[in-house]
Structure 1
Amino acid sequence: MQHKADFSVDRRLFRQVLLAAVIGALAVGAAAVLLGLIHLCSNLFFYQRFSFANSSPAQHQLGLWVIGLPVLGGLIVGLMARYGSSKIRGHGIPEAIEAILFGQSRLSLRVALLKPLSSAIVIGSGGPFGAEGPIIMTGGSLGSLIAQRFHLSAAERKTLLVAGATAGMTAVFGTPVAAVLLAVELLLFELRPRSLVPVAIACAVAGFLRPLLIASEPLFAVQTAPVGPEALFGCLVAGIASGLLCTLLSWSLYRVEDLFGKLPLHWMWWPALGGLAIGIGGYFQPRALGIGFDVIGDLLHNHLLLGAALALLLVKAVIWVIALGSGTSGGVLAPLLMLGAGLGAALGHVLPGDHGALWPLVCMAATLAGVLGAPLTAVVFALGLSHDLNALLPLLLTVTVAYTVTIVIAKRSIMTEKIARRGLHIYREYSVDPLERHEVSEVMSHAQVPLAAGQAFALPRETCRAVAGRMVALGLESLAVVRDAQSREVIGVVSRSDLLKGTLAVHQEESLA
């Protein structure tokens, strides 16, 4: 008796692994170019100098003129989107998901070139965004283009698109394991060796090569003290508060997007209007401009007074929501990290115990989990950014509570709401397909039917899923089952209703006794 294998694997996996390794290396180079472009644009806009040095917009001496810089950046990007590619609009992740699920994982060279450039202009002119969304889109485009060059299937293109996207995230943040989990929870919509192995290889390669071009140390290294049962109540409060913040941010973002949609102006002009909000907010709170990694670090180390931190974060939240709702280009992870860390810093003044950076760290992760709908990614992401293992249990509890709050209150996340507004529904739960678990030999009937020349047939060892797909493609209600492809000896017949027998166990498990 031949036993079934645990996984479905063929030799094409090895080609995928080799291509994924190349894509991982290219993604690091793309991330380095993107960060360099952001630094260059920031220096040009705020300091009128040609330099790739990392400089904060908050140190500018422009006075009221600073209000016009994000407007100019938004105007440039609006023109690029209108006459270059409208796919550069938005923060990148929803666009990648849409390409995966509804576009057969095809992305263009134009997007790969224009997305990082447009994001660099927006962020460099003061946009309150992160670099991760653009690099996810750019890395994904690289993976998709390479897959198209080798004429791979749509499933294989998806794998390489996701490999490029997550390798790019690894290059920006230095969190390869979190990037792999992001692929599993948000991008792949499956957990199979054919996709997991290449993605993990790409992220590992990117992680090894990152120190050569970007950095080797963690972005926000902190060390909290070990916590005991006394932190349990605080984690529950922090999780609920973070979940409510996520819901408020999502609701606000799409109300703002609706308001922009009612304007009697072409969408090309919207980023300039969003830039005006950025400029005004940045005039009063200069540290709200740009990516803001320095602000996140200060929040984690409690270097900001409560009043100053709340004012800064309020401005950041408002200009981020308005700018993102205008359809400009930029990532969401860095702003979410800052807003979550700010919430935690505020809660640290009222929660019992002196836990230092713990509450900013766990709220940062919880906010990310609630907005992305990816709790495992958020936990490991926070650990990768901080290298603080003492925070593991508080992170797990706080993130889970926040995730629960958001999925109960909101139907969709920021990531999927944009796609749903285009009439495309995404169902993010997945489990083992019962048609994949059963073979034709288990469900077929043994009736004898003649096999005509050229007629399609099924093999006993094929999965019900594979045969069901063939039936739909051929428009057939049943297929003859043959012993093997060589002899073509008919041993039975399988119908569409036969294929559904495997779902009976699922129905019984889900039904009340």
Structure 2
Amino acid sequence: MRKERIVFDYRHYFLRSVVFLYYHLGENGFLILLGVVTGLVTGVGAGAMKLGAARLSEFAPYLREHGWLLPALLLPAAGLAGAFLLGRLLLRRRPATSLSWVIYDLQEKQPEMSWLETFSHIFTSAVTVGLGGSAGLETPSVLTGAAIGSKTGWLCRLSVDKRGTLMVCGTAAGISAVFGSPIAGALFALEVVFPRQARRRLVPILLSSAGAAIIAELIFGSGSMFKVPSAPWPFHSLPYFILLGILCAFVGVYIIQLNYHFGNRLKKAFPNRWVRLGIGCAGLAGLLWLFPILAGDGYNFVQMLFSGADKNHLQSWNHGCNLLLLSLAAVLLKVVGTVFTLECGGDGGIFAPTMFTGAFTGFLLARLVNDFTGLELSEANFVAAGMCGVFTSSLRAPLTGIFLIVEVTGDFMLMIPLMIVSGLSYFTAKFFEPYSVYTKVLGEKHLIEAIPLQQINRHTPVGDAIETDFSAVGAQTPLAELRATGESAKITYLPVIDANRKLLGIVMPDRLAAATDPKLTAAALMMEPLLTLSPKDDANKAQISFEIYGLDYLPVIDGGKFIGFVPKTRFEPAPAAGEATA
């Protein structure tokens, strides 16, 4: 009884403190305080994750130096198996490895994450990435931050909406802590995780991101993540930045498609998790034996590109075509290693692989142009721009891509090229693939709501939304009858048709209300349809037509005959709860 009494008192006084702070700080002030707490705790967790991965990454060079080549080759597979066993046996379950379901839970107003997620990624991702798994620490850091935010809100008995806000704060803090980039962290929450919620709670998100960046600086020191030689970009390089933006779009689409389809193939071909673990270990070991540069997050190799690609692993390939082939392999195969890592038991994210792939994409283009045209493009500039472009096209976060690269390189001179590459890669990729690497799985399962229509109903035919309870009139119908019909009709647009159901025109409600001459007929009042749709047209075309013409209904014609209207309301996503009152 004594022990139970102590627990009760602890909770009682804690909740009294919550009420006291909430009352004196107000809703916004209290959320800001909890956002800062979330950011600070997330910063500590992300720091521990990075330190653990850094220490474990020292094993492979040590083994190679002492001639233990086979154990060094098997380390990534050991990391994969270690993370799998840690999640399955010790932690009783495998932690999430993607932001997809966090995005979905926030949209569905279910901001609940387990206590496991607040610490498990610190261990499993450090083991996976530190021992050579082909993934990054950013997604685990973001998931850790989201879980910390969720549980902070739960402890304080906050509403679902406010817990969602703290989850978004945690995601921003996760990016900020890993990269030391508070602006990019906040923008990531705005663009990727939950845009509508993030805009309403901008201040807590900004301060949470700043708090995580402060912790990261205390642990790792100040300074940019990459050491980049500062070089101006001449005007004659502008066409090649444009070309790079388009190229990065296709690379991003390739990453999204391969990540989704190859991952699904592995799951279907090897439904047993233990068998899939074995396949992943073998596949990853073989891939890294052929191309060691695919190990880990790859940021050390990106730094080599910034420095001139003249060190260790890249030096032996630095002979013209050989280096180009290596770069091409890095662009095409990094995501393969990532899928082996994440789908077969490891813990990590797609974040770092997109930046690694983008770096080699930019380097490959610049080196090809320099070799075959005689120009002297700054390869470092194109490495940075490529990172921005592939990141943007894969995650659909143009502003995050721009400011992330600026913050991790410390080079503001590239702002204009980054804007060009980011914008072109974003819109080009969106044309060919409507989903990001995180929302692809949600879109294919039709789980995404309240997002742009071209992503929800892109392939839905107009025929599924036709309303046929209209009131048709003839061309000689008098004004009095038109008004009587309009008052009783569900659809106030009155179609004027002939005996063969050919659409002659439409009597609009405003023209009908303004008519005063009783001798007027439908033929005098009707307007020719500005646009007609076919039942086979997709919803994307309908939405665009409604937006351009500003109409509430559009007529549908099939085989020359009028068959009904489609309403604008069927092609508008419902606003998120709370947005209308924001």
**Which residue matches 2:39?**
24
CA distance in 2, matches of 1:64, 1:94: 36
**Which residue matches 1:110?**
116
CA distance in 2, matches of 1:60, 1:143: 45
Confirm whether residue 35 of structure 1 aligns to residue 50 of structure 2. yes
Q: Residue 262 of structure 2: SS of its match in structure 1?
A: helix
Give CA-to-partner distance per residue, 1:444-497, whole Å, 9 cap, x none: xxxxxxxxxxxxxxxxxxxxxxxxxxxxxxxxxxxxxxxxxxxxxxxxxxxxxx
User: What does residue range 130-141 of structure 1 map to in structure 2 within 5 Å?
Assistant: 130-141=136-147
**Which residue matches 1:366?**
389
* Corresponding letter in the other structure for 2:38: I
**Which residue matches 1:384?**
407
**Which residue matches 2:95?**
88
Deviates more, 1:282-291 or 1:74-83: 74-83
Q: Residue 438 of structure 2: SS of its match in structure 1?
A: helix
Q: Residue 201 of structure 2: SS of its match in structure 1?
A: helix
1:41 is displaced (CA, Å) by 3.4
Q: Residue 119 of structure 2: SS of its match in structure 1?
A: helix
CA distance in 2, matches of 1:192, 1:143: 14
1:25 is displaced (CA, Å) by 1.2
Match of 2:128 among 85, 105, 122: 122
**Which residue matches 1:461?**
none
Match of 1:15 among 30, 37, 40: 30
Confirm whether residue 296 of structure 1 aligns to residue 302 of structure 2. yes
Q: Residues 41 and 125 of structure 1 are in contact (CA less than 8 Å); yes or no, is this contact kept in structure 2? A: yes
**Which residue matches 1:308?**
323
Give CA-to-partner distance per residue, 1:281-305, whole Å, 9 cap, x none: 2223333211222101111232253
Give CA-to-partner distance per residue, 1:68-87, whole Å, 9 cap, x none: 33333323333444454656
CA distance in 2, matches of 1:320, 1:264: 17
Give CA-to-partner distance per residue, 1:389-431, whole Å, 9 cap, x none: 111110000111111111000121211112334541255449x
CA distance in 2, matches of 1:397, 1:163: 29
Q: Residues 271 and 327 of structure 1 are in contact (CA less than 8 Å); yes or no, is this contact kept in structure 2? A: yes
* Change in 2 beyond 3 A, CA 1:88/1:223: same
User: What does residue range 230-379 of structure 1 map to in structure 2 within 5 Å?
Assistant: 230-303=236-309, 304=314, 305=318, 307-308=322-323, 310-311=325-326, 313=330, 314-326=332-344, 328-351=346-369, 352-379=375-402
* Corresponding letter in the other structure for 1:242: C
Q: Residues 149 and 167 of structure 2 are in contact (CA less than 8 Å); yes or no, is this contact kept in structure 1? A: yes
Deviates more, 1:316-325 or 1:336-345: 316-325
* Corresponding letter in the other structure for 2:383: P
What is the CA RMSD across the aligned residues, in angstroms?
A: 2.7
CA distance in 2, matches of 1:269, 1:119: 21
CA distance in 1, matches of 2:93, 2:235: 51
Match of 1:511 among 542, 549, 553: 549
Structure (1 or 2) with the larger CA radius of gyration: 2
Flag structure 2 segments of 5+ consecutive residues without an equivalent.
1-24, 370-374, 454-543, 552-582
1:356 is displaced (CA, Å) by 3.4
CA distance in 2, matches of 1:89, 1:276: 23
Q: Residues 188 and 195 of structure 1 are in contact (CA less than 8 Å); yes or no, is this contact kept in structure 2? A: no
Q: Residue 330 of structure 1: SS of its match in structure 2?
A: coil
CA distance in 1, matches of 2:57, 2:263: 27
CA distance in 2, matches of 1:24, 1:296: 28
Q: Residue 428 of structure 2: SS of its match in structure 1?
A: helix
The percentage of aligned residue pairs carrying the same residue is 24
Match of 2:436 among 413, 419, 435: 413
| TM-score, reference length from structure 1 | 0.75
| TM-score, reference length from structure 2 | 0.67
Flag structure 1 segments of 5+ consecutive residues without an equivalent.
1-9, 49-57, 431-505
How many residue pairs get aligned? The number is 419
**Which residue matches 2:192?**
186
1:59 is displaced (CA, Å) by 6.2
Q: Residues 256 and 437 of structure 2 are in contact (CA less than 8 Å); yes or no, is this contact kept in structure 1? A: yes
1:96 is displaced (CA, Å) by 2.4
1:223 is displaced (CA, Å) by 4.1
Q: Residue 414 of structure 1: SS of its match in structure 2?
A: coil
* Corresponding letter in the other structure for 1:511: Y
Q: Residue 160 of structure 1: SS of its match in structure 2?
A: helix
Q: Residues 158 and 188 of structure 1 are in contact (CA less than 8 Å); yes or no, is this contact kept in structure 2? A: no
Deviates more, 1:222-231 or 1:252-261: 222-231
**Which residue matches 2:495?**
none
**Which residue matches 1:220?**
226
Q: Residue 11 of structure 1: SS of its match in structure 2?
A: helix
Q: Residue 199 of structure 1: SS of its match in structure 2?
A: helix
Match of 2:201 among 190, 195, 199: 195
Give CA-to-partner distance per residue, 1:18-55, whole Å, 9 cap, x none: 1111111111111111112213433467748xxxxxxx
CA distance in 1, matches of 2:61, 2:273: 26
CA distance in 1, matches of 2:106, 2:65: 41
Q: Residues 78 and 269 of structure 1 are in contact (CA less than 8 Å); yes or no, is this contact kept in structure 2? A: no
Q: Residues 165 and 198 of structure 2 are in contact (CA less than 8 Å); yes or no, is this contact kept in structure 1? A: no
Q: Residue 113 of structure 2: SS of its match in structure 1?
A: coil
Q: Residues 23 and 142 of structure 1 are in contact (CA less than 8 Å); yes or no, is this contact kept in structure 2? A: yes
Q: Residues 259 and 336 of structure 2 are in contact (CA less than 8 Å); yes or no, is this contact kept in structure 1? A: no
Q: Residues 44 and 215 of structure 2 are in contact (CA less than 8 Å); yes or no, is this contact kept in structure 1? A: no
1:189 is displaced (CA, Å) by 2.5
Q: Residues 113 and 151 of structure 2 are in contact (CA less than 8 Å); yes or no, is this contact kept in structure 1? A: yes
* Corresponding letter in the other structure for 1:418: V
